[in-house]
Structure 1
């Protein structure tokens, strides 16, 4: 079974339990912390995937890193490690976050610009995403790519709006070459 399918099943199970016990917000915060921590630490990612490091050591590290987590999250760690699926922890946290956003009506979007966004631009992008998606809330992920020269690339629901200077120059070059 593929890693994403396994992670998705774990995420759905934890999500259902958290929702049922009215601790969805707490568990969501835990999952975001897990996702962000693993995403930001190549060492942790490699540790979780390593077949050399034993399960009890991995569980000990997870408990020390996320010791303030909800009891459900801690039980989830134990189960995942016991089943030898700790390598899917990051993907499970990611899938949980997607389920949470779907339930809460939050649209996820990514904007790539050649510079850091100001609060005014951030608010403008969020407003545009709200208009395009029809959802009330937006989670905007920002990336900086200096090679864009100017403009932006906005990704929403698998659709891309590319209004970058780099793309405009590439299109101009293609028309001149023909």
Structure 2
């Protein structure tokens, strides 16, 4: 039975996080994974290339050796296992899972907020505090997006959950009710 990407990412991310925590290296591993994320975001096809069974193993191994030479311990070993099982295309999802677990343990909620106009700093800070409280976290780090098409209000997305207080959605809902 082939596992889906999210299941694989959760398992690998959890295993890496648990090992890093057990060894007292969670923050070091976190920082190494962030730098690894930058590489894979700059070279979006790298994961697919390293996982493609049709490509020459020696060439992939050479590329992999070049990639992992800058990493140590847990990250190095995790990359070797992920490469061995041909799951390098899942690496960003694995890093996301590790980051989520790390942030959860630190009491930090990551998410995004979309508004029609830019928020002032005090508004963004107040919103971050409210969102953190609503979801049971100490703090929230919200990436701000501006999208005039939402007309007004806010749209908050975090941990797979959405709070849609946009005027656009309210208008669409009203339009649906009136058309019944």
- Aligned residue runs from structure 1 range 68-147, under 5 A: 68-147=70-149
Pairwise CA RMSD: 2.8
Q: 2:170 aligns with which of 146, 154, 168?
A: 168
What SS does structure 2 have at the residue aligned with 1:152? Answer: strand
User: Residues of 2 paired with 1:98 and 1:161: CA distance?
Assistant: 19
Which TM-score applies when normalising by structure 1? 0.79
Q: Are the counterparts in 2 of residues 129 and 156 from structure 1 also a CA contact under 8 Å?
A: no
Aligned to 1:13: 15
Shift of 1:39: 4.5
Aligned to 2:33: 31
Q: Are the counterparts in 2 of residues 63 and 74 from structure 1 also a CA contact under 8 Å?
A: no
Which TM-score applies when normalising by structure 2? 0.78
User: Residues of 2 paired with 1:81 and 1:25: CA distance?
Assistant: 23
Q: Are the counterparts in 2 of residues 101 and 107 from structure 1 also a CA contact under 8 Å?
A: yes
- Structure 2 gaps, min length 5: none
- Structure 1 gaps, min length 5: none
What SS does structure 1 have at the residue aligned with 2:163? Answer: strand
1:150 aligns with 2:152: yes
- Aligned residue runs from structure 1 range 39-50, under 5 A: 39=41, 41-50=43-52
Shift of 1:124: 2.2
Tell me the matched-pair count: 178
